[in-house]
């Protein structure tokens, strides 16, 4: 089903382009409150209507998608790098270091990170701009999301370290950093790539969950999380189906990420 | 076939469950922390259980805001305001058949005032050091003497549920319209009609009309609204403006707007001298010109119209217009006036440059406002205030925190700049807010626990609040409280935003409901409510 994968990639490219050109496409500022038009139905002026404060939903969706789609890959990159360094080093070194790192990963995965995120958000300085707030949120997600990927990479690196190819490289005099850089890391690239692509939708959904808790992106900056919060009042949604637009976009985008990375997983 | 039908009919007649028992159902937002009426707190669902099961000496009519006789037929507050004498209704019985006498009133007050019990209701009677004395002068007469005068003494008894001194069931024996029959923790409470309830209707029929009340524990308010619309529950005490509008659109006869209530939404700046804030920000927040400018830049009408969908009105002061006697009617809400705001700011050396407001030292005016995460109405208000303040060049950062973190900041570390919260008030008497207005009080939020008043106007408020608490002359008290409202209106330590309307929902099958602004808004006359299916019985 090659065409499905290409359709997914084109869709993602289309969404990314629309987000980058949001300043030209959006009919209004994402923060502007048309206070005489709260909860308005879709119209030529507001293609997806307005929210409860009279802000243009379409503009907020464009900017919110930009925030979530730009920062989620950045957080995924950070967590993948951390996973590569920690998991790769432990797997390559083996012995007690591997045992210790594996135990640390198990501990890390068992901790209730949601509560930690709430606590960290509460400890953060209050006077941070919405942009800084969103950057910190995703940086935190990136810093906390490495453990699952590190376990996979650690296991893979350990297997590689015992492989015939690496044994041959050792026999020919390779060792230390050269062995790691020339022989282990290139062979870990497919796994790292797969872990990166898996992390992107995970972070998008995590940010959405934090937004539902009121802990993600600060007002007035929109994100998928803050847009999804409007769906809390589900008893009236049947009367306003256009409120589903962020949810549909989230589902389609996350599905497209999965479709786009299927081939990469095969490489892995 | 015919024989089978007859048999079925006979079985139905024989089955006691086939009787048409009436049951009122509604939801509690959480599990009651206690079922002991002496330990119930105003802000807990245990208050609902206490109201429905507790027999009180006198009851505050939520509509007229006047006291009416309950277990006591007459009462008299002593001339010094430190004693009260009750004449009790004779020949009454608790739900388990134990007789009710003056001994029970004395026992209840002794237990209530026992410091070891930590009763929130008992705390309201504590006016001075010393013990409370109870004198049983006859089987149905009792006098209670307090160590010091208690302001609004008689009205406090609206919350004192009398417990039995002799019943083996102790506090489970009820004198109110219902008693607790079943308690499934986390699921529901079932209250059944008290067979010994004293009250009768005009026709001499024993109240209450409704046989049982089922209280389902339901935290999700959206689900609560859906359940009402499906007919699974009969009433909702408090609705958000959004839910009210939905209900009003789909079932207009269900939604009730009782008008402006006692609760206020307010914002304040941190004026604690030792707060970990830059000195220039402390100077901003301490300036009355700055506070008035912020207040004048907020479009309260828009807050009421957009956030509360018209079910709120711009707030004036710490006493709501719903409090008919104590509200200072001379005061009006601060109008939206950004020009005046900039003039006040200019008096303090602030200036507008390239759309940004700078103080006299060149610091851009930027501050954060904290509010509790998950409260959609407050988050929306904060977003609107953010846009309003941007109009005079101020950058406002909105921070939503979980409630424990918020309380930690505003009450312990004082590491915040401004806060947006609501005040839940259900007490007619302003004396109940002594713990807010005295500068030495812990709840004096903008600068709590002061050793000496930080400003002359706070000293004046201290003096006026103490003066109103020291006299029983209603007019003198009113004058003092009016003056405090004027000072607060001028100084704006709290920037009052809106007073919310009291919105509730009542199923059309519930009859004789008259939602009021005082809590409980809907079931305050529970013993007189009846269900449509029992119309003839009820009437």
Give the 3-state secondary structure of B470-533. Answer: HCCCHHHHHHHHHHHHHHHHHHCCEEEEEEEEEEEEECCCEECCCCCCCCCCCHHHHHHCEEHH
Q: Which residues of chain A make contact with B250, given a CB cutoff of 8 A?
A: none
Residue B236, both tokens: 């909702």
- What CA–CA distance (Å, rounded) separates B252 from B254? 5
DSSP symbols for B411-451 = III---SEEEEEE----SSGGGGHHHHSTTSTT-TTS-S-S
Mutate to test the interface with A, among B305, B306, B385, B419 (most CBs of A within 10 A): B306
CB distance from A219 to chain B under 8 Å? Answer: yes
Cβ burial of B458 (10 Å; 0-12, 13-18, 19+) is: buried
Q: Which residues of chain A make contact with B226, given a CB cutoff of 8 A?
A: 235
CB within 8 Å of chain B, chain A residues 156-215: 213-215
Which helix (H) or strand (E) element contains residue B87? Answer: strand B83-88
Residue B359 and residue B284 in contact, taking contact as beta carbons nearer than 8 Å: yes
pLDDT tens per residue across all 539 residues of chain B? 455 545 444 444 444 333 457 999 999 999 998 999 999 887 778 999 999 999 999 999 998 888 999 999 999 999 888 899 999 999 999 999 999 999 999 999 999 998 888 888 888 887 777 888 999 999 999 999 998 888 888 889 999 999 999 999 888 999 999 999 999 998 999 999 999 999 999 999 999 999 999 999 998 888 898 899 889 999 999 998 988 998 898 888 899 999 999 989 999 999 999 999 999 999 999 999 999 999 999 999 999 999 999 999 999 999 999 998 899 999 999 999 999 999 999 999 999 999 999 999 999 999 999 998 878 899 999 999 999 999 999 999 998 888 888 898 999 999 999 999 997 777 788 888 888 999 998 889 999 999 999 999 999 999 999 898 888 788 999 999 999 999 999 999 999 999 999 999 999 999 999 999 988 999 999 999 999 864 444 44
Mutate to test the interface with B, among A39, A51, A127, A237 (most CBs of B within 10 A): A127
Beta pairing, strands B366-372 & B178-184: unpaired
Q: Do B402 and A122 touch (CB under 8 A)?
A: yes
B446: Cβ contacts below 8 Å, ≥ 6 apart: B268, B269, B270, B271, B272, B493, B494
Pick from B229, B306, B401: CB nearest A38? B306
As a dihedral over the C-alpha atoms of residue B351, residue B355, residue B356, residue B358, rounded to 10 degrees, the angle is -10
Which helix (H) or strand (E) element contains residue A121? Answer: helix A113-123
Q: Which residues of chain B make contact with A122, given a CB cutoff of 8 A?
A: 401-402, 405, 408
The string of pLDDT tens digits covering residues A13-49 is: 999 899 889 889 999 999 999 999 998 999 999 999 9
Overall pTM surpassing 0.80 (yes/no): yes
Task: Please name every residue paired with B179 in a beta bridge, in sequence order, or none if there are none.
Answer: B192
Q: How far is CA A187 from CA A261, B109, B327, B512, in A?
A: 18, 80, 77, 78
Task: Please name every residue paired with B74 in a beta bridge, in sequence order, or none if there are none.
Answer: B87
Pick from B246, B384, B387: CB nearest A236? B246
A121: Cβ contacts below 8 Å, ≥ 6 apart: A137, A215, B401
């Amino acid at each position: 089903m090659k065409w499905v994968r290409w359709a997914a990639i084109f869709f993602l490219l289309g969404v990314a382009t629309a987000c980058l050109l949001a300043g030209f496409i959006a009919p209004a500022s994402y923060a502007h409150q048309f206070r005489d038009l709260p909860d308005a139905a879709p119209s030529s002026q507001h293609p997806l209507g307005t929210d409860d404060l009279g802000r243009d939903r379409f503009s907020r969706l464009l900017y919110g998608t930009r925030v979530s789609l730009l920062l989620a890959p950045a957080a995924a990159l950070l967590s993948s790098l951390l996973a590569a360094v920690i998991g790769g080093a432990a797997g390559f070194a083996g012995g007690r270091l591997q045992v210790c790192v594996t135990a640390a990963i198990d501990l890390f995965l068992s901790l209730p990170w949601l509560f930690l995120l709430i606590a960290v958000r509460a400890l953060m300085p209050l006077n941070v701009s919405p942009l800084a707030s969103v950057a910190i949120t995703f940086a935190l997600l990136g810093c906390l999301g490495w453990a699952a990927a590190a376990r996979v990479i650690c296991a893979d690196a350990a297997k590689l370290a015992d492989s015939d190819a690496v044994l041959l490289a050792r026999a020919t005099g390779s060792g230390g950093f050269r062995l790691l850089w020339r022989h282990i890391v290139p062979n870990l690239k497919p796994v790292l790539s797969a872990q990166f692509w898996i992390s992107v939708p995970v972070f998008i959904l995590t940010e959405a969950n934090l937004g539902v808790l009121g802990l993600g992106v600060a007002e007035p900056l929109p994100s998928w999380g803050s847009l999804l919060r409007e769906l809390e009042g589900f008893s009236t949604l049947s009367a306003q189906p256009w409120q589903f637009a962020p949810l549909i976009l989230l589902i389609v985008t996350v599905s497209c990420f999965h479709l786009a990375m299927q081939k990469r997983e095969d490489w892995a | 076939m015919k024989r089978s039908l007859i048999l079925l009919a006979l079985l139905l007649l024989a089955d006691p469950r086939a009787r048409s028992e009436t049951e009122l159902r509604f939801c509690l937002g959480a599990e009651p922390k206690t079922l002991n009426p002496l330990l119930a707190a105003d802000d807990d669902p245990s208050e609902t259980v206490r109201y429905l099961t507790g027999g009180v000496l006198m009851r505050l009519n939520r509509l007229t805001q006047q006291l009416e006789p309950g277990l006591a037929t007459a009462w008299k507050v002593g001339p010094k305001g430190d004693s009260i004498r009750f004449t009790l209704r004779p020949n009454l019985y608790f739900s388990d058949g134990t007789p009710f006498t003056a001994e029970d009133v004395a026992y209840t007050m002794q237990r209530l005032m026992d410091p070891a019990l930590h009763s929130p209701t008992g705390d309201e009677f504590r006016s001075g050091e010393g013990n409370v004395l109870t004198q049983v002068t006859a089987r149905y007469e009792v006098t209670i003497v307090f160590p010091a005068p208690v302001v609004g003494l008689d009205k406090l008894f609206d919350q004192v549920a009398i417990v039995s001194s002799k019943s083996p069931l102790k506090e489970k024996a009820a004198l109110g319209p219902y008693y607790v029959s079943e308690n499934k923790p986390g699921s529901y409470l079932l209250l059944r009609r008290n067979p010994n309830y004293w009250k009768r209707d005009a026709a001499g029929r024993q109240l209450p009309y409704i046989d049982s009340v089922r209280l389902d524990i339901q935290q999700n308010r959206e689900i609560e609204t859906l359940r009402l619309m499906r007919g699974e529950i009969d009433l909702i005490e408090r609705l958000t403006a959004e839910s009210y509008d939905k209900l009003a659109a789909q079932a207009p006869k269900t939604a009730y707007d009782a008008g402006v209530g006692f609760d206020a939404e307010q914002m304040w700046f941190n004026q604690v001298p030792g707060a970990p804030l830059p000195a220039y920000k402390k100077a901003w927040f301490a300036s009355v010109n700055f506070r008035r400018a912020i207040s004048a830049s907020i479009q309260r009408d828009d807050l009421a119209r957009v956030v509360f969908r018209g079910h709120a009105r711009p707030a004036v002061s710490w006493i709501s217009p719903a409090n008919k006697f104590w509200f200072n009617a001379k005061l009006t809400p601060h109008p939206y006036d950004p020009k005046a705001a900039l003039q006040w700011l200019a008096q303090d050396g602030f200036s507008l440059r390239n759309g940004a407001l700078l103080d006299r030292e060149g610091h851009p005016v930027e501050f954060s406002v904290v509010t509790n995460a998950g409260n959609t109405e407050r988050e929306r208000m904060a977003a609107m205030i953010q846009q309003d303040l941007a109009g005079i060049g101020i950058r406002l950062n909105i921070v939503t925190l979980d409630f424990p973190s918020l309380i930690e900041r505003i009450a312990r570390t004082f590491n915040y700049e401004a806060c947006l919260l609501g005040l839940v008030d259900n007490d007619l008497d302003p004396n109940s807010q002594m713990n807010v207005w005295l500068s030495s009080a812990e709840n004096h939020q903008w600068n709590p626990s002061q050793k000496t008043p930080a400003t002359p106007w706070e000293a004046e408020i201290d003096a006026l609040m103490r003066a109103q608490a020291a006299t029983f002359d209603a007019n003198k008290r009113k004058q003092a409280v009016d003056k405090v409202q004027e000072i607060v209106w001028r100084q704006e330590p709290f920037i009052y935003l809106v007073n919310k309307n009291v919105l509730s929902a009542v199923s059309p099958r519930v009859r004789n409901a008259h939602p009021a602004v005082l809590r409980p808004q809907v079931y305050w006359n529970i013993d007189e409510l009846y269900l449509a299916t029992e119309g003839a019985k009820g009437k």
